[in-house]
Amino acid sequence: MKKWGWGLCGLLVLLGLIYGGYWWYQRQQTIATGNLRATTFALVSSAENSSLNYHQQYRYIEDIGDGRGYTAGIIGFTSGTGDLLQVVRKYQKLRPHNRLVRYLPALKRVNGTASHQGLGPKFVRAWRQAARDQRLIQAQDAIVDRLYLRPAIRAAQQDGLTPLGQYIYYDAMVVHGPGASADSFGGIRRVAKQRAKTPRQGGQATTYLRTFLTVRAKIMRQEKAHHDLSRLKAQWQFVQEHKDRLQLPLTWTMYQQKFRLTATKLKQLSADTQSNR
């Protein structure tokens, strides 16, 4: 009996170590770095720029007519919401004498509006030229991480979500902003948590994420620029396919355009990113 007892205790300890190690591994899996970051950026780029080549989007800039002025850079920072201003300020710290510094006063004035006053075609050209500078790429990445990516990961971990949930939260932050108002990420998350339990609260991830996407869909339909719900349909498809770790391959449709992301394609995208740095 003693031998059986010790054997059982040993087995329980072993199972505890295995489960604990698995839990720790899952906890450390985030979209902050490596292949998961590249996968997330490619997914968001397919929605924002109709391309998987996210590294090409650092130079992007145009007014898309959504009332937020200029949309620019890797995730679409805007002159009307202030995050584009933050990027240029960060760039100034990294390279004090740069071609965008002169536009800081204008970016401050147009914050909160759709105005181009003090910006215009000259600013557009200056942005595209400056985006060849590694320092501006670093500035964009720094603001992405601070305002959107890290807060999204933190919130997802608090709710017990996997990398798929982290990506879904991040995409919502990019589109709606990280605020607490009803039409911001914080408001969407708050309503979703009122309607369904998160995995951390003992709920099912599928049920909670479906609720989150449903709440977000209602907000998106209120904006002319976001009536097409392709990005939400793609995310729900990944939930149904149990792509919890964003494991490849991923196949989806965005605005009637089909995308397929494989390990080979991801490696190519990552190599292109390094060659542009």
Residue in 62, 63, 66, 272 annotated catalytic: 66
- Our answer to whether residue 66 is catalytic in this structure is yes
Handedness of CA 119, 122, 128, 132 (dihedral sign): negative
Residue in 48, 83, 159, 171 annotated catalytic: 48
Which residue type does 25 have?
A: Y
> Which of 66, 62, 56, 55 is CA-nearest to residue 175?
66
- Our answer to whether residue 228 is catalytic in this structure is no
Handedness of CA 237, 242, 245, 248 (dihedral sign): negative
Report d(CA 249, CA 262) in Å as an integer: 5
Active site residue ranges: 48, 66
